[in-house]
Amino acid sequence: MSGVGTRQRLLFISNGHGEDAIAAQLIARLPKSASVEAYPMIGSGKAYDGICPVVGPRASIASEGWRNVKGSLRRDIVNGGLMTIPPALKFLRAIRGRYDRIVVLGDMVGVLACLLTGNRDLVYIDVYKTGAARLYSGLERWAIARACKLVFCRADNLAEILRQGGIDARCAGNLMMDTIPRGDYDAASRRKHELAVTLLPGSRALTAESFALQVAALRRVPADLRPDVFVAVAGSVNSEELARSAGLSRAPMLSTEPDDLGMMGDGDLVIHLARGRAMGNLLDVSDLALSQAGTASIQALGLGRPVITFMNLRDRRSRFEDEQRLFGPARVVVDAEAGNVGMALTDLLRDAAERERLGQIGRERIGGPGALAAIVAALDLPASPE
């Protein structure tokens, strides 16, 4: 049989911008002998551009699956979120038997959808549960046992809970740390000051508002401490809207780097913009991050970069506190007010020893890479022909 005829067909199912980005990075590292398609259940799936074909119906909901904001589920339902379910289930029923392997990456949404539509023997990569707070419920264990052949967890205690139920569950590292995106952007050449900060304003509806507050906080930093500033712009975010929200002007792009989005500033503050797919390039040369993102915050902490974040009245306190149990002091939490954020930023910029202490805590709490190699090995794909 020809090489094309024996290619294994894989479908990756993800449900959110961060999950899409992780899955895309994983797919990019698979042997070329596999034929891979992706089904992003929520959003445009832009993270898969240039990586693999996207299949299935597109669904857009206000929250983009982000449940850290209070009332997000209710607003999704009121704004027609339930209408996105029938097309998704119809698609999943139609593809039964089409793929050699289905890989679900994210939370339980994809697993439950596959269970309802008769798709079984899943490889489930749980990047949602941390093992530090909520564990698997009885219903979740029941669904996983019936739908999944293999599960990769972020924590040993989560894998052990599933193994006690007869499920092949493993913990081989944090996949988020294997899949930090790095692109074509020379952040180091743009460094002018002693210190640098990366802004991660997120990828959802509150992104512009968060960015404006982050910029307002930077303006509170004393001139002698002003760092170089970078921002990772997610694919779903409009750079012009960011600039307007913060009262900044865009400067034309001068480099030929594909991931360079130019600069913005106000004559006093200069911010370098890069595509989200070059986020790792920015964090590699930064000392800390101001972040309202989900996955990107975890990756920053895992790289040893302390994160400053703010909580506003719309955040779900229970989810926020669950995350904080894992992150500990490595994520500095302040009120959503420019003065408070600016003070926390100034304190960390002044104190190298504290940055190092928090950075070490972050590395220990998040864990290192290793999951990617284990997942690729478990998929047992033939090597690409020479």
Query: Which phi-psi region, left, alpha or beta, contains residue 370 (left: φ > 0; alpha: ψ -120 to 50)?
Result: left
In a domain? residue 182: no
Same-domain status, 131 and 246: no
Q: What is the pLDDT of residue 70?
A: 53
Same-domain status, 235 and 160: no
Q: 139-148: long-range contacts (C-beta < 8 A, 24 or more apart)?
A: 140/108, 141/165, 141/167, 143/108, 143/111, 143/112, 143/115, 144/111, 146/115, 146/120, 147/111, 147/112, 147/114, 147/115, 147/119, 147/120, 147/122, 148/104, 148/111, 148/121, 148/122, 148/123, 148/124
Same-domain status, 290 and 320: yes
CATH of the domain at 217: 3.40.50.2000
- Give Cα separations from 230 to 127, 233, 284, 289, 308 (angstroms): 26, 10, 11, 9, 15
In a domain? residue 180: no
For residues 60 and 58, what is the distance between their CA atoms, to the nearest angstrom? 7
Q: Which residues constitute the domain of residue 151?
A: 9-173+370-379
pLDDT at 75 over 70: no
Give the residue-averaged pLDDT of 159-180: 96
Average pLDDT over the chain reads 91
pLDDT at 263 over 50: yes
Instruction: Provide the pairing of β-strand 260-265 with 270-275.
Output: antiparallel
pLDDT at 239 over 60: yes
Same-domain status, 361 and 374: no
How many domains does the chain contain in total? 2
Instruction: Provide the pairing of β-strand 249-251 with 307-311.
Output: unpaired
Same-domain status, 236 and 319: yes
pLDDT at 67 over 50: no
Using the 8-state DSSP alphabet, how is residue 121 labeled? S
Same-domain status, 134 and 202: no
On whether the CB atoms of residues 323 and 131 are closer than 8 A, the answer is no
CATH of the domain at 165: 3.40.50.11930
In a domain? residue 1: no
Name the strand (E) or helix (H) holding 323.
helix 317-327
Give the residue-averaged pLDDT of 143-153: 98
Same-domain status, 80 and 167: yes
